[in-house]
């Protein structure tokens, strides 16, 4: 067999084809496994979004580790809650972002998440609340002040783990109130930082939306793409194509060797 492969010039081609086939099949299998993982992830998130919001007392007793440390299933990620308290608008932070325009209407593009300390009346805890999105063009203080919810109010939101700094994340500019992560530890320091509990998480606001619609809450819109089946079929189709091409090529070479 080896002698025939050498004589036909197929030895190295066969080795290359086998390696390429193994890679393509492996990539397809990996994407299939990712599909299963993504479906479980989406199912867990959807189940939590449909649950009844917990109250301040339950939140106080809830033990929440960061999702990156324990995984989604063991974390508090996307747990809904309902809290009554007051916002400290004087210490709001502006986190630069860009979002797609929501389906069905709404604002998108470049702008800022508005993250504000919120003191819970029942427990005295202070947590960071991401109140929603404001476009860059409407960040003037005269506009923002109209969005402030004054006095005691009841909010609903989702527990989220703080966003983690990556290699290419921009540096914050506290003097200009320009930030790049919804990360409570980075956003708040000094006395206000010391007052905030659960500094590894923040609350992503679902409701209420202030009069005028700003900031625009987006927490209830969870869109996690799942195209892993498409990717798996693409890799497997490439593997099948490789087999077909190699088979035709090898058959031609072997016929040429056998011909007198």
pTM: 0.73
Domain ranges of the chain: 2-39+226-258, 79-207
- Whether the CB-CB separation of 113 and 129 falls below 8 Å is answered with no
What's the mean pLDDT in 57-72?
87
With tokens 């099949």, the residue in question is 25
Model confidence over 22-36: pLDDT tens digits? Answer: 988 888 888 878 777
Query: What is d(CA 204, CA 154) in angstroms, rounded to the nearest whole number?
Result: 14
Query: Sign of torsion, CA 33 36 38 44?
Result: negative
CA angle 243, 245, 248 (to 5 degrees): 105
Q: What's the pLDDT band for 5 if we cut at 50, 70, 90?
A: very low
Model confidence over 189-200: pLDDT tens digits? Answer: 887 888 888 889
Residues contacting residue 112 through CB under 8 Å, at least 6 positions apart:
94, 95, 96, 97, 133, 134, 136, 139
Per-residue tokens: 92: 């709001």
Counting Cα atoms < 13 Å in the Cβ hemisphere of 223 gives 7
Residue 41 has a pLDDT of 72
- Most confident range, picked from 106-110, 155-159, 216-220: 155-159
User: Would you say residue 156 has pLDDT above 80?
Assistant: yes
């Amino acid at each position: 067999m080896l002698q025939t492969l050498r004589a036909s010039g197929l030895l190295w081609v066969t080795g290359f084809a086998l390696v390429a086939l193994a890679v393509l099949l492996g990539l397809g299998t990996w994407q299939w496994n990712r599909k299963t993982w993504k479906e479980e992830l989406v199912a867990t998130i959807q189940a939590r979004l449909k649950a009844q919001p917990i109250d301040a007392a339950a939140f106080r007793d809830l033990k929440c580790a960061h999702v990156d440390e324990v995984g989604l299933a063991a974390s508090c990620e996307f747990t809904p809650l309902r809290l009554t308290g007051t916002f400290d608008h004087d210490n709001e932070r502006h986190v630069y972002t860009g979002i797609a325009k929501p389906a069905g209407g709404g604002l998108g593009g470049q702008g800022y998440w508005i993250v504000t300390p919120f003191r819970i009346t029942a427990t005295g805890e202070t947590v960071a609340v991401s109140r929603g999105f404001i476009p860059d063009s409407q960040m003037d203080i005269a506009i923002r002040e109209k969005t402030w919810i004054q006095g005691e109010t009841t909010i609903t939101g989702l527990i989220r783990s703080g966003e983690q700094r990556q290699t290419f994340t921009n540096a914050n500019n506290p003097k200009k109130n320009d930030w790049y992560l919804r990360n409570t530890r980075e956003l708040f320091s000094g006395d206000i930082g010391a007052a905030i509990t659960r500094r590894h998480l923040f609350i992503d606001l679902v409701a209420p939306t202030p009069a005028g619609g700003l900031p625009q809450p987006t927490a209830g819109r969870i869109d996690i793409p799942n195209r892993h089946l498409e990717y798996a079929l693409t890799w497997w189709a490439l593997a099948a194509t490789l087999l077909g091409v190699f088979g035709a090529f090898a058959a031609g070479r072997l016929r040429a060797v056998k011909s007198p």
